[in-house]
Chains A and B, each alone.
Chain A
Amino acid sequence: MEQSKQLIGIKEYIAIVILMIGTKLSDDTPAILFEQIKNAGWMAPIINGIIAIIPIYLLMKVVGNYKDKSLAEVTDHLFGKFFGFIILFTLLVVAFCATIVDTAIYTDIIGTMYFTKTPTIIIYGILIVVCAYGARRGFEQIGSAAWTVFPYLQVSLLLALILSIREGNTAFLFPLFGPGPWEIAKESSLRLSIYADFFYLFLFFPLIKSKKDFIKGTWLGLVFIVLNIAIFMTCFVFLFDYKTIMQLSYPYHEVIRTISMGFLTNMETFFLPFWLIASFVRFSIYLYINALLIGHLFRIRHFEYLIPSLATLIVFLGLIPESPTFTIFNLKEKILLIATPLFFFLPVLMWVVAMFKGEFKHANKKKRK
């Protein structure tokens, strides 16, 4: 068992982090933020990024205290078998719901923006089959795939950025504070869980080559993601102004439909494949996380075998909602609001428990010996 453990290095890890969370800028996450915070929506990722430092830092303290223990094992260790099970089960439910909702959204994007005639089940099926295949290959494989495609994705994003800035107008950023500073702070911190994926990253702690790589990779990933999302959301405002942007379901896809490069007018066909690849990587990781948690909770050693059946379940659950553009948008918003306190207070709770149990002193003693 120990021998087959797949370890990945820092660059693969960063690529995974960024593809997993940064891809959010291209779905309806910006729309959710713009909905309440209007033209100041671009501040939300920055504010949230700063707030997210607290839970991530505390988690690092706690999880980093143990060698070779993932978040799941640490939770069991800190809270005991019973409470540990409840907490991890909640995490699993949130992750599973998020996977269903997000895959449904991506299917909706592909269905409404690109392949209007293809039946939803086929799009959904292909998307999930590809991701399940990726997840089935294991964490190391996802990591190297992520690292391979990462530069291409960033270059395509950069190109989209340059083209849209050229056509945009900076005056749309004003009035700078949109609905008012207090409103911005409140509404964005309520949606802190756009970064909740960081929490799940700690499940991979023992799979990264060294503790240092993990810490460095996570922080670098956070900075990169905050910048990526904030810059892109600013760009959306530049191009559309706040009234229009509040009505767009998928701003990124409207952007690539609006920009053109010289005589190349229909640029969306160029950006679509890059975006698809990023989505594949993202959902492969999501599927892997789900399987990992189930494997831990129910003591299934070779949890990879669960992935195909999980994937099938996701497709059928994801197909249920009617007119997904609206229903899933609302569902996602609810999940975000529910997950926010979980993401913020659980690390705090874990840190406090670890303090009282004297875990940190324990570790220090060990080190001194």
Chain B
Amino acid sequence: MSRQEEMLEKWQGEVFTYVIGAKKEEGGTRGSVVKAGGEKTLPFLDKEGFFPNTAAVALEILDVPPADWPEELVAAYGGVTANPLEWADACVRKFGAELLCVRLAGAHPDAGGRMPEQEAAFLSKLAAAVNVPLIVRGCGDDVKDNTLLPLCSEALKGERCLFGSASQDNYKTLTAAVTADGHGIIAESPIDLNIAKQLNILISDLGLPLERIVMDPTIGALGYGLEYAYSIMERARLAALSGDRNVACPFICFTGQETWKVKEAVAARADFPHWGDKEKRGILWEAVTASALLQAGADILVMRHPKAAEEIKKYACHR
């Protein structure tokens, strides 16, 4: 036995694999599927075990033109963000997205309050317009989401999407809906591993198997608490590999959402001349945040800038 072999860790457990998207033969209409999770060791330690699946990179779109996105982010899509279906099409065809995350921001009471029926119809059109697997997120208002998401879940029945988000205070309605319609769920916890674990148990107690849960540990961008998220993800993953099934779900990280609101990504060059080119800076901030999260064990990265997504894909495939 060589010295090096003696140092290698042997893990008992593994991360569950959640397959997003269902093709025709499985009752869906997706042209491809994305497998998230399945790791048998820590990220990038390929001598200790296998990572059967590359980390997935999703581009994020909204159901309405983005109101609060910085202009260079909007400009990166060349004007299509005014029409969400064209936007989705550009993500897939022009930027090669393997996975699309749509946030139903327009349903929020403060953002126009689009009706659940309207959103469900939009999702049906979206599913017809693009054939990549879908992640669907509510508007973030619990009361609205509890009427909105069940209808949306039903509209996409059989497509095996990922729906979010469930939280410790609001998980029952969404869990029931996705269980019935064959989707998976995003379980969101506030940078707190104890709550993350508890939420997984609560959701699985309602009858949705742990294998259909993806954890959102809540992340911060580089410089904004990224290290807290990192250490929680690392601890959860160590426990999962040691056999704790209740934290053995894949991670989803909303890197775009967190990055494109921090000063370093959006501040004008005129305000901080020594920070350099604004567009490059934002892309780099998102890509660097995402790469750190890959090291922490992220399985799905939801990103906003197509250039940052393109860069991170080159790194993710080495995992």
User: Do they bind each other?
Assistant: no
